[in-house]
Amino acid sequence: MIYIFISLVVYVIFVVIHVFLHRLLARWKILTFKTTLIFGLGGLLDVYLVLNISRLLEIPQFRANWWNITLPLSAVSFYILLVGIHTIFYTAPAFSYVSPSTQLLSLLEKQGRMTYQTIQRYFSNQQMVVERLHDLKDAHLIEMENSTCRITPGGIRIIKIMGYYKKMLGWHWRG
């Protein structure tokens, strides 16, 4: 289990370094995906630590077949999976647009209550607005009474979580 713990600690350390680098570069108006390459150094460190600890404990290293993977190799694989998940779920929003649902929640949070007609002024496609409003209502993120929409406490929590995450990485709301 020490190997998994080492991989997890190395991952957490390099996540902190990644966020720090991203924020530093964002201050200089340099927005790049290259900060994720820091995880490569973390992978090398992870392999180095796992190999040396397995040598100290005299455990066979990386000799495995497809069905019988040793614990050191599993720990390195665990690190690689963590980095992959991190890259997919936490850095991909930097290269995507803010969804219409997020825009609607943000508008409702800023304005409080808005009529359907007011909301339509912010979006060009009536079909999109209707579908998004119903999606948000079904998720209990907004309440609709007659032609008035209002954000629920759950919707406020979602906006605050997204805002905190974007603030942590130095991103700004678009749209």
Tens digit of pLDDT for each residue in 92-117? Answer: 665 555 667 777 778 888 888 888 78
The H or E element that residue 150 is part of is strand 148-151
Percentage of the chain lying above the pLDDT 90 cut = 13
Q: Which of 31, 37, 4, 5 is nearest to 18 (CA)?
A: 37
What confidence score (pLDDT) does residue 131 get? 73
Give 3-state DSSP helix, strand, coil % of the chain, rounded to 5.
70, 5, 25
54 contacts 1 by C-beta, under 8 angstroms:
no
Q: What is the pLDDT of residue 175?
A: 46
**Most confident segment among 3-17, 62-76, 98-112, 128-142:** 3-17
Q: Which domains does the chain have, with CATH numbers?
A: 2-95 (no CATH), 100-169 (1.10.10.10)
Determine the 3-state secondary structure of 113 from DSSP: strand
- Global pTM value: 0.52
pLDDT digits (tens, 9 = 90+) for 75-95: 888 999 999 888 877 756 655
Tens-place pLDDT, residues 48-66? 998 888 777 766 555 555 5
Above 70 in pLDDT, residue 119?
A: yes
The answer, yes or no, to whether residue 147 has pLDDT greater than 80, is: no
| In contact, 72 and 51? CB cutoff 8 Å | yes
